[in-house]
A and B are shown apart, each in its own frame.
Chain A
């Protein structure tokens, strides 16, 4: 059976793409964030995952308000990045793992997650930048991917509790996949930030740190909050912590944090990076 080797959660701010394109990783503004990644690169070299399930949120590249699925799963042989309107260089296409995609889709629908399936799917910065951070070498991403997208654009947004359950179901589905594949689950977004309104620039460091600690100590902690309460605590776009929660929930039982970085600000955002490994 397939095995989840770990979960990596990271912020996905578009400015990271500009920093990579401009080779600014060593600049004082960027260094504390980019320094989180070399230890993770070494871990990836050791555990050698074959496929990444990437839980992310689309920001109006693939989905518009004409059709807005709550949960969607990619089932494409290849995923393309594209212009999002502000000129971050696009990244090469990503190879899909359609066998795992359809396995996940069947298992999740069977567990009453009524998904949208996508045989064509453009992937935006929230998907591409974390993969580039994890596999920074030139050329295409070296492992196969399955995108899982959660709506955080339009209310109603699925609750933290529901996203946690989705993560649990993804984890169970991976563990039930008849394959030798080693799977890493990536969750992207957050942490606290708000782009819109008079409250723009809102950041909540104590809440972020408590949330990060909870992923190790008490992973259901954030499920006590409604989506509106999470917006209050973390900002309109801080709600992206839902992706971290779903990714964490794919690992049943305890985890240890092999990497734990919190740094602010990057652009308007408090940035976090964690590598969580199952405790055998």
Chain B
């Protein structure tokens, strides 16, 4: 079978082997947020909680900034990051708006426009 061409998609980072290795500690921490006890522990002492997972310096900075693009660049996977966002009651439209530099209403309108 012919090798299918690799495509580069603007504004998109595929969660591949490179990201999966780079983001392991960050994603492992976010995976732990499935448990409410762990979400509470993070809220009670964020620095201590992060230290337990051995985050890299860029991951720590990204967690502190709550910036989704920065978290992705540090190897975060959006499925695990969604659990981190849940701690702050942010839904996928909040994080969509943040990543695209729009207000939430603008982002919602963008989604509605896709149906036209």
Seen from chain A, the residues whose Cβ lies within 8 Å of a Cβ on chain B are 15, 59-61, 64-66, 82-87, 153-156, 194-201, 203-205, 226, 228-229, 231-232, 236-237, 263-265, 267-268, 270
Question: What distance in Å separates the Cβ of B43 from its nearest Cβ neighbour in chain A?
Answer: 13
Name the residue among B7, B87, B114 with the largest chain A CB count within 10 angstroms: B114
Question: What distance in Å separates the Cβ of B64 from its nearest Cβ neighbour in chain A?
Answer: 19
B59-116 contacts to A (CB < 8 Å) = 68-69, 72, 77-87, 91-93, 95-96, 99-100, 107-108, 110-112, 114-115
CA distance A40 to B4 in the complex (A): 38
User: Contacts A65-B24, A196-B99; is A268 near B36 (CB within 8 Å)?
Assistant: no
CA distance A194 to B14 in the complex (A): 11
Residues in chain B near residue A83, CB distance under 8 A? 34-36
Q: Is the CB of A228 within 8 A of B111?
A: no
A-B CB proximity, top 9 nearest: A199-B11, A85-B83, A86-B86, A198-B11, A203-B114, A226-B4, A196-B78, A265-B111, A200-B96
Q: Is the CB of B12 within 8 A of A65?
A: no
Q: Is the CB of A231 within 8 A of B12?
A: yes
Report the nearest A residue to B33, measured CB to CB: A85
User: Contacts A86-B83, A196-B72, A264-B111; is A232 near B9 (CB within 8 Å)?
Assistant: yes
Report the nearest A residue to B112, measured CB to CB: A265
What is the total number of residues of chain B having a CB less than 8 Å from a CB of chain A?
A: 52
CA distance A104 to B80 in the complex (A): 30
B14, B80, B92: the one within 8 Å of A155 (CB): B14
CA distance A263 to B111 in the complex (A): 11
Q: Is the CB of A267 within 8 A of B13?
A: no
Q: Is the CB of B95 within 8 A of A264?
A: no
Q: Is the CB of A228 within 8 A of B83?
A: no
* Extra inter-chain contacts (13) besides given A64-B27, A155-B15, A197-B72, CB under 8 Å: A65-B28, A83-B34, A85-B39, A195-B78, A197-B13, A203-B111, A205-B114, A205-B115, A226-B4, A228-B9, A267-B91, A267-B92, A268-B93
User: Is B47 in contact with chain A by the CB < 8 A criterion?
Assistant: no
Residues in chain A near residue B4, CB distance under 8 A? 226, 228-229
User: Is B52 in contact with chain A by the CB < 8 A criterion?
Assistant: no
Residues in chain A near residue B115, CB distance under 8 A? 203, 205, 263-265, 270
Question: What distance in Å separates the Cβ of B71 from its nearest Cβ neighbour in chain A?
Answer: 9
User: Is B20 in contact with chain A by the CB < 8 A criterion?
Assistant: yes
Report the nearest A residue to B68, measured CB to CB: A196
Question: What distance in Å separates the Cβ of A39 from its nearest Cβ neighbour in chain B?
Answer: 22
B27, B33, B91, B100: the one within 8 Å of A15 (CB): B91
Residues in chain A near residue B28, CB distance under 8 A? 64-66
User: Is B17 in contact with chain A by the CB < 8 A criterion?
Assistant: yes
User: Is B53 in contact with chain A by the CB < 8 A criterion?
Assistant: no
B3-32: contact bitstring with A at CB < 8 Å (1 yes, 0 no)? Answer: 011110111111111001000100110110
Report the nearest A residue to B18, measured CB to CB: A155
Q: Is the CB of A154 within 8 A of B82?
A: no
A15, A61, A198, A236: the one within 8 Å of B34 (CB): A61
Question: What distance in Å separates the Cβ of B41 from its nearest Cβ neighbour in chain A?
Answer: 13
Question: What distance in Å separates the Cβ of B80 from its nearest Cβ neighbour in chain A?
Answer: 5
CA distance A199 to B5 in the complex (A): 21
Residues in chain B near residue A263, CB distance under 8 A? 115
Question: What distance in Å separates the Cβ of A11 from its nearest Cβ neighbour in chain B?
Answer: 13
Residues in chain A near residue B93, CB distance under 8 A? 267-268
CA distance A267 to B114 in the complex (A): 13
Question: What distance in Å separates the Cβ of A90 from its nearest Cβ neighbour in chain B?
Answer: 11
CA distance A265 to B96 in the complex (A): 13
